[in-house]
Amino acid sequence: MHSKSDNRSLEEPIRVSIIEDDTWLRENLAGEFAAVAGFRCEGSYGSAEEALDGIPILKPDVAIVDINLPGMNGIECLRRLKSQCPDTQFLILTAYEESESIFKALLAGADGYLLKRTSTAGILDAIRDVHRGESPMSGHIARRVVQYFKKMGSHVSEVEHLSPRELEVLELLARGDAYKQIADQLDLSIETIRMNIKHIYAKLHVHSRGEAVAKYRGWPRS
């Protein structure tokens, strides 16, 4: 974890805002961001209403959002903030793991989805990943997304339009590998991997790793 932070030592820190009504968790996360190189806490909010006042002004790089907030819930807060802060990446951090909540959060514009039982190191890694344009999501959550899409009867035949290289990349995405891991395994640059993933999303008509993986896992391969 520290080696990744060291790589950012000469760069601007990732500016993170927290939307969480649990005071202990909110203050604990803010303390971690202050203690770890490469991070800075910019804005800490106990409700969606407070966040809607502050985040559009600060425009952080990443906002951590809890779903279960007093008053307006986190999903509606995320939906409103997404339109006002298009360059901010939104990472859900919640206790909710049922498919309906996950899917609603993704539709609202969530760029990643973590459960609160994720370790602090895992949360910091996810913030780095989402800041790089990736979509961190635990394997357990990804499976929930798959199950939801199967239930909704998603059209998986689109997978057949992917090139062999795109299928290879998608298979590694489905395995949960990060972009850098995929680049290393396929001996390609991370920029090439990002371009492949962009093409995959376009061909599958999806906007996230979870949606792409759902269609891939539901594809009837021979």
Q: Quick: pLDDT tens for 115-136.
A: 888 888 999 999 999 998 888 8
Phi-psi region of 38 (alpha: psi -120 to 50; beta: other; left: phi over 0): left
Confidence at residue 153, expressed as pLDDT on a 0 to 100 scale: 52
Note the pLDDT of residue 3.
41
Tell which residue, 56, 61, 11, has the closest CA to residue 41: 61
Which pair of tokens denotes residue 56?
Answer: 């559009």
Nearest partner of 89 among 123, 118, 53, 60, judged by Cα: 60
Which position has the higher pLDDT, 37 or 1?
Answer: 37
pLDDT band with cut points at 50, 70 and 90 for residue 210: confident
* Residue bearing tokens 């290879």: 168
**pLDDT band (50, 70, 90) for residue 148:** low
Identify residue 101 by its one-letter amino acid code: S
Residues β-bridged to residue 62: 16, 89
> What pLDDT, on the 0 to 100 scale, is given for residue 80?
92
Contact criterion met (CB below 8 Å) for 116 and 94: yes
What's the CA gap between 35 and 41, in Å, rounded? 10
Q: What pLDDT band is residue 12 in, cutting at 50, 70 and 90? A: confident
Element (H, E) at 92: strand 89-94
CB 62 within 8 A of CB 85: no
Tens digits of per-residue pLDDT, 81-95?
A: 988 998 899 999 988
Please report the pLDDT score of residue 2 as a whole number.
43
What the block records as the tokens of 34 is 């202050």
φ and ψ at 205, to 5 degrees? 60, 50
Instruction: Burial-class residue 22 by CB neighbours within 10 Å (0-12, 13-18, 19+).
Output: middle
pLDDT at 64 over 90: yes
Q: What is the pTM of this model?
A: 0.64
pLDDT exceeds cutoff 70 at 6: no
The per-residue pLDDT for 60 is 96
Q: Hey, what domains does the chain have and what are their CATH numbers? A: 2-136 (3.40.50.2300), 155-217 (1.10.10.10)
The mean pLDDT value of the chain amounts to 84
The order of strands in the sheet holding 112-115 is: 39-45, 14-19, 62-65, 89-94, 112-115
**Predicted confidence (pLDDT) per residue in 185-194, tens digit:** 899 999 999 9
Give the CA distances from residue 9 to residues 62, 73, 84, in Å, rounded to whole numbers and listed in that order: 18, 36, 30
Which residue did the predictor score with more confidence, 160 or 21?
Answer: 21
The strand pair at 89-94 and 112-115 is best described as parallel
Instruction: Give the per-residue pLDDT at 222.
Output: 43
Q: What is the pLDDT of residue 128?
A: 93
**pLDDT for residue 41 is more than 50:** yes
Confidence of residue 157 (pLDDT cuts 50, 70, 90): low
Q: Mean pLDDT throughout 37-44? A: 93
